[in-house]
Amino acid sequence: MKTTENISLAGYAFTIEIDAYEELGTYIDDIRTSFSNDPSAEEITADIEERIAELLSERCQGGMVVNMSMVRDIKQRIGNPQELASDDAASGPAPETSAEKEDKKNWRTRRMYRDIDERILGGVCSGLGTYFGLDKVLFRLLFLIFFFIGFADEGLFCIPMVLYICLWIAMPAARSVEQKCEMKRKPVNLKNFRSKDFDFNREVKEVGQSPAGRTIRRVVEVCIGLILLVCGLGGLIGCIFIPSLPTLIENQLAIHPLNHPDIVEMTSMQIATDPTFWTLVLATCALAFVGMLYGGIMLTFDLKSPSWKPGLVLFITWLISIFVIAAWVVKAFADAIPGMII
């Protein structure tokens, strides 16, 4: 029986045979050497180690010991640093290997991120363009068109603005190479880490990413963040008065009763004076305002979102609450109007 060693790689615990451990250590050292001249070498190496750990965990189900065969398979899948060096010296791109083709087929589905490398403001439109495989300019034009159409229609310009801000909060930024690979549905291998598409220093070189451009964008982010903070705080304070609305509506109906209301008007009055309805409205509004506060804090102080993505959780919960209110109202009308088709 071969001697084994317990190791931790990118937060994953493994039991590995000694010869496989030495082979893996040499491979990771070669990767570090290959990226030693890159300013983001530590971050790139950490992403590669995490990908190696993911591949090992897939192969080590049920407490299996990592062996030499597994390590060699992972080396073939991710790539050899020496081969990359020879590819750089060659005039044309190297042909795709069978392992790379298999990795593309097995690679996880594309995920939606904000593409901050191509951003003008928050990277929402460029992220949507990358996700749907369309030109990012198309989404920017759509937002601008609906924004200006809203000006001519009694202030509806706020709808695309609120939608953009919600997407900004809900969509995480693609910062690491692994996230950028997920966004573009490419396997995490050394070839893609060397690709210009995943250059960490690209934002310093791109047009619009100059120091002046970053300063302007930061000022805009702070302004939007402060607006969100004020709106969120004011909205939460306003939510205090929502529970008193049923009583207020009842008092108004007592003073100004409706003359011969039909069944729709009667049902609407019952809904408007039902505490359950306003409890749902209170929860929905509170979620929206808490999301504004969260987004305002993140933008104002330039914070990174935690791994569990609270902004996305709030956004999804808010959407669910809207559907719950809609379903409750539809059910109320269905119960009040026999034969109503939903």
pLDDT of residue 150 exceeding 70, the answer is no
CA atoms of 169 and 172, how far apart (whole Å) = 7
The residue among 114, 81, 77 whose CA lies nearest residue 194 is: 81
Helix (H) or strand (E) holding 15: strand 12-17
CA atoms of 290 and 232, how far apart (whole Å) = 6
Average pLDDT, the chain: 77
Q: With bands split at pLDDT 50, 70 and 90, how would you rate the model's confidence at 260? A: low
CA distances from 21 to 16, 67, 74, 79, 211 (A): 6, 8, 13, 18, 45
Q: What is the pLDDT of residues 7-33, one digit of tens each?
A: 888 888 888 899 989 998 998 888 888
pLDDT of residue 310 exceeding 60, the answer is yes
pLDDT of residue 113 exceeding 80, the answer is yes
pLDDT of residue 83 exceeding 70, the answer is no
What pLDDT is recorded for position 233?
92
103 token code pair: 């990795």
Give backbone dihedrals phi and psi of 66, rounded to 5 degrees, phi first.
-70, 130
Name the range with the highest mean pLDDT among 14-23, 39-48, 165-174, 199-208.
14-23
Q: With bands split at pLDDT 50, 70 and 90, how would you rate the model's confidence at 208? A: very low
What pLDDT is recorded for position 204?
35
Residues 6+ apart with CB under 8 A from 246: 272, 273, 274, 275, 278
Q: With bands split at pLDDT 50, 70 and 90, how would you rate the model's confidence at 211? A: low
What pLDDT is recorded for position 257?
72
